[in-house]
Structure 1
Amino acid sequence: MEHAPGPVAAQGRTAQICSYGDDQVLKWFKESIPRLAAEQELAASRVAASAGLPVPKAYFLAEWQGRPAIAFERIAGSTMLAVLYRQPWRIVACGARMARLHIDIHRTGAGPDSGMPCLIDSLKRRIQAAPLLAESEKEAAIAALLKLPAGRQLLHGDFHPGNVILGGGKAWVVDWMTAVSGHPAADAARTVLLLRTAMLPEELSRLSSFVFNRVRAMLLCQYRRTYLRLSGLEQEELEAWMLPLAAARLCEQLPPEEKLLLHKLVQSELRRQPPLPAASF
């Protein structure tokens, strides 16, 4: 790196965002994030950019104080989540815009030559690593996962209002660290799962849970309605992914109350699954 990054402007669970020069920002990953994850984000950002998707330009990957960091084009604007906090009357428009943006991502192919990791493989590993799940729950979730279509489209992997920046009349998609190759229904289902269960971010903690839940429910309704209409997928195709997605999310660094909610969802989904066949000897 040519010079030290500026002060921290924002931070999430995996990285801090620092200013870097006049027209760049540095995504500085936390110590728990391996360099491979940063490399995957750099590669996915460039795949998305080459497909004409609205993503900040990724300049280079380096290290600062022993932690990986990516220099990105600076985007002036606010996250869609922050905009909704200030202007909740934009819920319907934002939900529809999210869906259209997600459809554009899913129109991008990501076959074996794209270098994108396989969603099915990723979910399987994460389900196996989920500490709250019993072995029988892991086996049932993986069995449900392996029945689902693989797909070869570009998936963002963590598409929600906090990863969409609105600025200059344009919507930009950021945070491609979990991008994979797979079926669009899985990515849309992940967004539905997040809008159903994710806890309120710390920076918006002043917003009452009642207001937040109302905003979230309305955003989810508009996003799902628009996405299903434009994609041609059915609601049942999204719901089929809920069990493996919720099970895999349990290995993420989440607040305890969110993990409890997800575990209850996994158990509810398991009760709807047909029993696994008995082993034969």
Structure 2
Amino acid sequence: MTNSVGRKLGEGACAEVFEWEDGSKIVKLAKPNTSSAALLREWKHCRAAWECGLPVPEPFGLVTVEGRPGIVFERIYGDSILNRIVNKLIGLNNREKAVDLMEDHLNARITARLLYQTHTISVRLSCQREKIRNDIRRAPSLTNLEIETLIALLDQQPIKQQLCHGDPNPGNILLRDHDAFIIDWNDASIGNPEADLAEYVILLRYTVVPPYLPTELSIFLDTIRETTISIFLEEYERLSGIRYADIEPWIAPIAARKLSADATSEAEKALLLDEVRRRIRNN
């Protein structure tokens, strides 16, 4: 590393995050499984969102550190919704804290408002629908007939041209005092908000908590999955008029696209494949 790189702040499946320069910025450095092209795409997407006035960390530029491509961002002194939930659960020791967590519901209303704000923007980015088609075609567990059925279902949906985040999970929503920011714009595209909403529904419904996290998180998540989805959809419908009936046709294609994602665990893929095939049978 260079003198510009400070202490490590965190990591995900594709990158590590470090303090940068005087600590007022961070640098996101790619892991070996992430290409320079992917980092460039994320930087362009985040820059477009920031220039539109959306609540995202300002992206300052691209760097290379000891051969690793990276992006320098404004540092947001806050924590993700996911981390807040995990930290609360680690200290969970009485009924009052459990009630407090139940009322929190992963800040579903905040997420709904952020996504609605995102969806009011239209910029020039890659086509959401084409990306979904390509992801479905790469899913190794689907038959050719299933793939064509899913793509036909996708093509039946109305075409929209709105900015979509592509990965609206609680780990990508940062909270700072009374402000909320949305990060990780690698999967952003122009298309239908209903696809983003389906991503959120599928995430809440089928996420399998990894074994390195507290077992209490899995128990807690099971108790709030559907209630959290209802709260999220209620808030988004209040803002936009989009109902669950409008999102329903997107569930199967979005679940199918996640079958080709490296970040989707094998346990989650099994649940998603069952859901996709059930929906194909009932279509």
Equivalent residue runs for 1:47-196 within 5 Å = 47-85=48-86, 86=88, 88-92=101-105, 94-110=107-123, 114=124, 116-196=125-205
The answer to whether structure 1 residue 266 and structure 2 residue 276 are counterparts is yes
* One-letter amino acid of the structure 2 residue matched with residue 12 of structure 1: G
Summarize the Cα distance change of 1:202–1:170 in structure 2 as closer, same or farther, 3 Å threshold. Answer: farther
Among candidates 236, 250, 269, match of residue 259 of structure 2 = 250
Report the equivalent of 1:26.
27
Secondary structure (helix, strand or coil) at the match of 2:18 reads strand
CA contact (8 A) 2:105 2:224 kept: no
Aligned residues: 269
Distance of aligned partners of 1:89 and 1:210 in 2 relative to their CA distance in 1, 3 Å threshold: closer
Q: % of aligned pairs identical?
A: 31
Q: 3-state DSSP class of the match of 2:5?
A: coil
- Which range is displaced more, 163-172 or 192-201? 192-201
Q: C-alpha displacement at 1:30, in angstroms?
A: 1.6
SS in 2 for 1:6: strand
Give the deviation of 1:23 after TM superposition. 0.5
Asked whether the equivalents of residues 41 and 186 of structure 2 are also in contact (C-alpha less than 8 Å), the reply is: yes
Q: Which amino acid aligns with 1:175?
A: D
The amino acid of 1:81's aligned partner reads: L
Give CA-to-partner distance per residue, 1:230-272, whole Å, 9 cap, x none. 1111211101101111111100112110110111111011112
Q: Secondary structure at the match of 1:148?
A: coil
Tell which deviates more after alignment, 128-137 or 85-94.
Answer: 85-94
Q: 8 Å contact 1:91–1:218 — kept in the other structure?
A: no
Give 1:199 deviation, angstroms: 2.2
**1:46 aligned onto 2:47:** yes
Matched-pair contact (CA < 8 Å) for 2:82–2:106 = no
Q: Distance in 1 between matches of 2:73 and 2:208?
A: 28
In the superposition, relative to structure 1, how do residues 208 and 16 fare at CA in structure 2: closer, same or farther (>3 Å)?
same
* 1:179 alignment partner AA: A
Corresponding residue for 1:278? none
Name the SS of the counterpart of 2:260 in structure 1: coil
Any conservation in 2 of the 1:91–1:219 contact (CA below 8 Å)?
no
Cα pair 1:99 1:223 within 8 Å, conserved: yes
Tell me the equivalent position of 1:10: 10
Residue 95 of structure 2: aligned partner: none
Q: Residue 211 and residue 89 in structure 1: after superposition, are their counterparts in 2 closer, same or farther (change >3 A)?
A: closer
TM-score, normalised relative to structure 2: 0.89
Superposition misfits of 4+ residues, deviation over 3 angstroms:
1-4, 201-206
Supply the distance in 1 between the matched residues of 2:171 and 2:211 (Cα, whole angstroms): 12
Q: Report if the CA contact (8 A) 1:99-1:227 is conserved.
A: yes
Summarize the Cα distance change of 1:48–1:257 in structure 2 as closer, same or farther, 3 Å threshold: same
Task: Mark the CA change 1:11 to 1:98 in structure 2 (over 3 Å): closer, same or farther.
Answer: same
Structure 1 range deviating more: 189-198 or 60-69: 60-69
Q: What TM-score do you get using the length of structure 1 for normalisation?
A: 0.90
**Which amino acid is 2:107 matched to?**
C
- TM-superposed CA distance for 1:59, in Å, is 0.7
Q: Is the 8 A contact 2:198 2:247 kept in 1?
A: yes
- Residues 203, 50 of structure 1: alpha-carbon distance in 2 compared, 3 angstrom cutoff: farther
In structure 2, runs of 5+ residues without a counterpart are: 89-99
Show CA shifts across 1:38-80 (max 9, x none).
1111111111111111100101112223332101111111101
SS of equivalent residue, structure 1 residue 225: helix
Comparing 58-67 and 44-53, the one that deviates more: 58-67
The alignment partner of 2:190 has SS state of strand
Give 1:109's aligned amino acid. Answer: S
1:185-224 map, 5 Å: 185-200=194-209, 204-224=213-233
Cα 1:93–1:162 shift into 2, 3 Å: closer
Asked if the contact 1:119/1:150 (under 8 Å) is kept, the reply is no
More displaced, 1-10 or 97-106? Answer: 1-10
Q: Secondary structure at the residue paired with 1:26?
A: strand
The alpha-carbon distance between structure 1 residues 216 and 63, as it changes in their structure 2 partners (threshold 3 A), is farther
Q: CA deviation at 1:92?
A: 4.8
Residues 60, 223 of structure 1: alpha-carbon distance in 2 compared, 3 angstrom cutoff: same
